[in-house]
């Protein structure tokens, strides 16, 4: 279990570093995304849909603020379209992470974990617990990306990966896009309160999953 946690921490550390570099270099800051989404709120719905999906798809490379984009999508696209755009974007991001790590998984695992027995142990644990980890991966920032990467490294069945990842992503997207749809810039409190509740519930589930 320690080796699995070590892998999680390393992958999350990489995404955190990417997030910091992207913001420090000014390539794509949170304020830039927020301002851009605000500017295009009256644009054609198709354009907004594509922008939201592309931004969320790029999360695996740029570590974009998913929670902000998903909430905004509900606000500027409405609940139904915002939900679809957000779900598509997050699924694409997760799939990219899975495929890239599946292609490089063996070499990466051998580089990070020298002991073959520990690699076998990590594989066994993840294949036994992976479905639960994928479902509640939205509990913490960067945890979904890390779990998708681990799914690829461990060669987790792709169809099961999509199914479990969707089960975990869809409720998250439903809640946030709905909260975004009933909020606005002058009254953001429904979204903020709802987001807080979502994270508390997911964190509790994640805590008990790890404890088990």
Q: Which two tokens stand for residue 14?
A: 């990489």
How far does CA 165 lie from the centroid of its chain?
10
Task: Return the percentage of the chain with pLDDT > 90, whole number.
Answer: 22
Local confidence band at 120 (pLDDT 50, 70, 90 cut-offs):
confident
Q: Which two tokens stand for residue 27?
A: 């390539």
Instruction: Give the range with max mean pLDDT: 55-64, 94-103, 140-149.
Output: 94-103
Name the 3-class secondary structure at 113: coil
- pLDDT tens digits, 52-63: 999 999 988 888
Number of domains observed in the structure of the chain: 1
Conformation bin of residue 78: beta by default, left when phi > 0, alpha when psi is -120 to 50: left
Contact 77, 85 (CB under 8 A): yes
**Range name among 50-64, 131-145, 166-180 with the lowest pLDDT average:** 131-145
Domain extent at residue 100: 2-211
Record the pTM: 0.84
- pLDDT tens digits, 16-42: 888 788 777 777 777 888 888 888 888
> Does the structure show a pLDDT above 90 at 185?
no
Closest to 146 (Cα-Cα) out of 2, 6, 34 = 6
Distances (CA, A) of 104 to 154, 155, 158: 11, 11, 16
């Amino acid at each position: 279990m320690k080796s699995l946690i070590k892998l999680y921490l390393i992958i999350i550390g990489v995404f955190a570093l990417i997030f910091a570099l992207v913001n420090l270099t000014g390539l794509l800051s949170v304020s830039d995304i927020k301002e851009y989404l605000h500017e295009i709120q009256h644009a054609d719905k198709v354009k907004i849909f594509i922008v939201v999906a592309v931004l969320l798809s790029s999360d695996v490379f740029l570590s974009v603020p998913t929670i902000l984009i998903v909430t905004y999508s509900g606000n500027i696209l409405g609940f139904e379209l915002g939900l679809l755009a957000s779900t598509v974007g997050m699924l694409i991001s997760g799939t990219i992470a899975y495929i890239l790590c599946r292609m490089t998984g063996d070499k990466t695992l051998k580089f990070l974990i020298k002991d073959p027995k520990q690699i076998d142990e990590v594989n066994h644990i993840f294949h036994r617990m992976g479905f639960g980890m994928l479902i509640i991966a939205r509990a913490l920032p960067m945890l979904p990306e890390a779990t998708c990467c681990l799914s690829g490294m461990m060669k987790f069945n792709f169809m099961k990966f999509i199914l479990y990842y969707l089960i975990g992503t869809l409720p998250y997207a439903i809640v946030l896009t709905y909260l975004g749809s009933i909020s606005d810039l002058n009254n953001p409190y429904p979204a903020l309160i709802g987001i807080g509740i979502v994270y508390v519930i997911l964190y509790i589930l994640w805590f008990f999953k790890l404890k088990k």
